[in-house]
DNA sequence: TTGAAAGCGCTAACAA
DNA sequence: TTGTTAGCGCTTTCAA
């Protein structure tokens, strides 16, 4: 690896001049600049970011932490962030927590050592605590929120999404609706549940807590919850299911199949978050789709805008920090063939 | 961010001693060590990796480049690598190329600036050229190979996988087999095609080039190719399809559905690479499954082993580099319900 | 317009 | 066992 000194020597200038020729071309006479550029090219010179960042006290780097890179939604978030970062000339370092407090802590520590200038995080239930590890770091919470007051959040309208799904089912004539809901320690699960409950009540349909079963977001959880709900006596059994996340929806569909229930005749299902399998399954699943890529891009754009703002010195000038943004994107209900009016078996 | 100097001051020692207390505890008297550790804890000290790496000329960092992080297979590779790196105390920086030469080049340049000690790459068709950007960097090629002689490769037995798939179809009684094959500029596509062709010939079944259609790995390509193959006159139409990758398999299934063909009665399909939708589709798809996570882990383990070997000075001692490993993992044919004997319509 | 010098935070060689 | 010193590669004063 050739250093700036090598370039300088080859171009017959000092290291300082070589540095300027590359980073601030207008501070250098044209012939000199050309000599340096040529030398740099010839040597395949690539600046050592460690040294540059150390000196400039600025890495042009951001950290990205998602909870499950194997989940297509999260992979898409990450890609959106990375693409946007790239456009801004930033490099994004991606970490994965598997919803695990310890891994999150280690990711934050590792990240901290590399001095990112900002952080985009899909928080876990432990982030509120863990994020104290990186005080003074501009943070954008993505997809979920911790309630941490100072930070920018980029989320989806979960309440609206849940409402749309629930209304859709009610509109089809369902009156016994079940929900499989994520663990209530993350905001999306809470909001989706709230939207469901609200909508029932507004429609004058009684909310039956026993028809709302929790799961920890995994396929197996969805399957178990669905098995329990669908095994209720016929007059108690829900005719429609709203499932609060992607993975659990698969489980619910598999459970229905296991019990020999026909979708959508015996059971309507709406999932949250679209996916390849939701489209290719038989029948294709009605879902609340989320603009994952855009969420990622927006999170990054906001973070980097905030960095510019801070750099412009506004932090110094009084405590007038940019008030944190609350970005919320709409969801989209995609009606496919897993939802239909209930078959009127129990009209007594 | 507090520095080692802050820790040193608080503990009443020199920076050097503080450094030693943290990195080489046994070089420091116990009471001193305890003072330093306590001070570090109190300040929430985290070493600045930029400075450390700059000084030690070693970043404990590796680069990871995949071609499509949205593809579950690649996401799994990346996770395997990252988990393994973590276990070894290395940090993995992940980049994504979208099979694009320019993006790959930029990823390599960015990476280079951060001085990774090694690189794990899923090469594109342009990697052979692009990898010249990082000479002297230990490289592991993952999933695909460029033919570059010096590097370690970690792949799957694509030929074996394709053979197993083809044999399975032949065993069911198919004699007109079609293949939808990836663009022949990456090794996996070439090998899978070779396995297919070999197996036909060994079985004494004539290889019909017109039944082998190329695609560029995307769903739409698979759909188009399948539409063409399946629109052939009945006596020419293949009764079974081997599809060379994941995404194109979806397309092929959709094409069959569009044409009103029943799977597996009218058409058997085997895909390469398992996936959620392959399992949940109706019917579930027979596939050649790949141990993606293990591939990632192995790639990382081998790379890091190689780094240790180099560090141990073997590079200096003559040109006796560790001869590059050629790791190859087996695939597994998972027979599901998309394959069955052909219905004997044309037995004349 | 250019160069000399200092220093970002850290650790390794050397000295005490 | 500890401290002093130097220097990793870079950029940015400051001076010429």
CB A324 within 8 A of CB A138: no
Q: Is B109 on the interface with A (CB under 8 A)?
A: yes
Q: Which residues of A touch B112 (CB under 8 A)?
A: 46
Position B321 scores a pLDDT of 56
pLDDT at A314: 58
The pairing of beta strand A152-156 with beta strand A326-329: parallel
> Which tens digit of pLDDT belongs to each residue from A264-322?
999 999 999 999 999 999 999 999 999 999 999 999 999 999 998 877 765 544 444 56
Do the chains contact at A280 and B276, CB–CB below 8 Å?
no
Q: Report in angstroms the alpha-carbon separations of A166 from A205, A222, A272, B1.
A: 11, 18, 11, 49
Mutation choice for A interface testing from B94, B108, B219 by most A CBs within 10 A: B94
Taking the CA of residue B331 and the nearest CA in chain A, the distance in Å comes to: 20
Q: Which domains does chain A have, with CATH numbers?
A: 4-47 (no CATH), 59-156+292-329 (3.40.50.2300), 158-291 (3.40.50.2300)
CA of B14 to C1' of C9 (A): 14
Provide the CA B14 to C1' C15 distance, Å, integer: 15
For residue A241, which phi and psi values (nearest 5 degrees)? -130, 130
Better-scored residue on pLDDT, A150 or A195: A195
In angstroms, the separation between the Cα of residue A124 and the nearest Cα of chain B is 18
Token pair of A242 as six digits: 């709203």
| pLDDT the model gives residue B312 | 73
Sheet with A177-182: strands ordered across: A212-215, A177-182, A240-243, A268-272, A286-289, A332-334
Is residue A346's pLDDT more than 90?
A: no
Looking at CA atoms only, how far is residue B1 from chain A in angstroms? 9
Among residues of chain A, what percentage have pLDDT more than 90? 92
Q: Does A76 touch chain B (CB under 8 A)?
A: yes
Residue ranges for chain B with pLDDT beneath 50: 316-320, 346-348
Report which residue is nearest nucleotide D9 when distances run from CA to C1'.
A51
Name the region of A173 (left: φ>0; alpha: ψ -120 to 50; beta: rest): left
Which residue(s) pair with B61 in the sheet?
B91
CA distance linking residue B120 with residue B123, whole number of Å: 9
Q: Please name the nucleotide lying closest to A33, CA to C1'.
A: C1
B43 touches chain A (CB under 8 A): no
Which residue is listed with tokens 């919850």?
A: A225
- pLDDT given at position A348: 39
Instruction: Provide CB contacts within 8 A for A146, sequence distance 6+.
Output: A123, A127, A128, A131, A187
Mean pLDDT of chain A: 95
Is residue A156 within 8 A of residue A165, CB to CB? The reply is: no
Phi, psi of A85 (to 5 degrees): -55, -45
Q: Which of A280, A284, A337 to mutate to test the interface with B (most CBs of B within 10 A)?
A: A280
Look at A72 and B70 and tell me if their CB atoms are within 8 Å.
Answer: yes
Sign of the Cα torsion A295, A300, A306, A309 reads negative
Q: Identify the pLDDT of residue A32.
A: 98
What's the rounded mean pLDDT across residues A97-107? Answer: 98
Q: Could you tell me how many residues make up chain A?
A: 348
């Amino acid at each position: 690896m050739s250093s700036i000194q090598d370039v300088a020597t080859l171009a017959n200038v000092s290291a300082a001049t070589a540095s300027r020729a590359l980073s601030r071309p207008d501070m250098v006479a044209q012939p000199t600049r050309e000599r340096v550029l040529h030398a740099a090219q010839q040597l395949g010179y690539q600046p050592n970011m460690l040294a540059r960042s150390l000196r400039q006290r600025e890495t042009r780097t951001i950290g990205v932490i998602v909870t499950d890179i194997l989940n297509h939604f999260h992979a898409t978030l990450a890609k959106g962030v990375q693409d946007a970062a790239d456009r801004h000339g930033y490099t994004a370092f991606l970490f994965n927590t598997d919803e695990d407090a310890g891994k999150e802590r280690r990711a934050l520590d590792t990240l901290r050592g590399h001095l990112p200038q900002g952080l985009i995080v899909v928080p876990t239930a432990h982030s509120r605590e863990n994020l104290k590890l990186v005080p003074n770091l501009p943070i954008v919470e993505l997809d979920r929120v911790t309630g941490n007051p100072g930070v920018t959040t980029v989320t989806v309208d979960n309440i609206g999404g849940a409402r749309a799904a629930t209304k859709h089912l009610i509109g089809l004539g369902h009156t016994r609706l079940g929900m499989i809901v994520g663990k209530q320690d993350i905001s999306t699960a809470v909001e989706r549940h709230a939207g469901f409950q609200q909508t029932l009540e507004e429609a004058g349909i009684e909310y039956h807590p026993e028809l709302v079963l929790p799961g920890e977001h995994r396929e197996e959880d969805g399957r178990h919850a669905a098995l329990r709900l669908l095994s209720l006596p016929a007059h108690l059994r829900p005719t429609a299911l709203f499932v609060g996340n992607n993975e659990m929806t698969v489980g619910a569909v598999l459970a229905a199949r296991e019990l020999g229930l026909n979708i959508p005749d015996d059971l309507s299902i709406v999932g949250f978050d679209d996916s390849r399998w939701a489209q290719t399954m038989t029948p294709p699943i009605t879902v609340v789709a989320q603009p994952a890529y855009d969420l990622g891009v927006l999170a990054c754009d906001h973070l980097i805008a905030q960095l510019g703002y801070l750099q412009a010195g506004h932090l110094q000038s009084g405590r007038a920090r940019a008030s944190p943004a609350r970005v919320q994107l709409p969801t989209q209900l995609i009606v496919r063939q897993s939802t239909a009016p209930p078959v009127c078996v129990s009209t007594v």
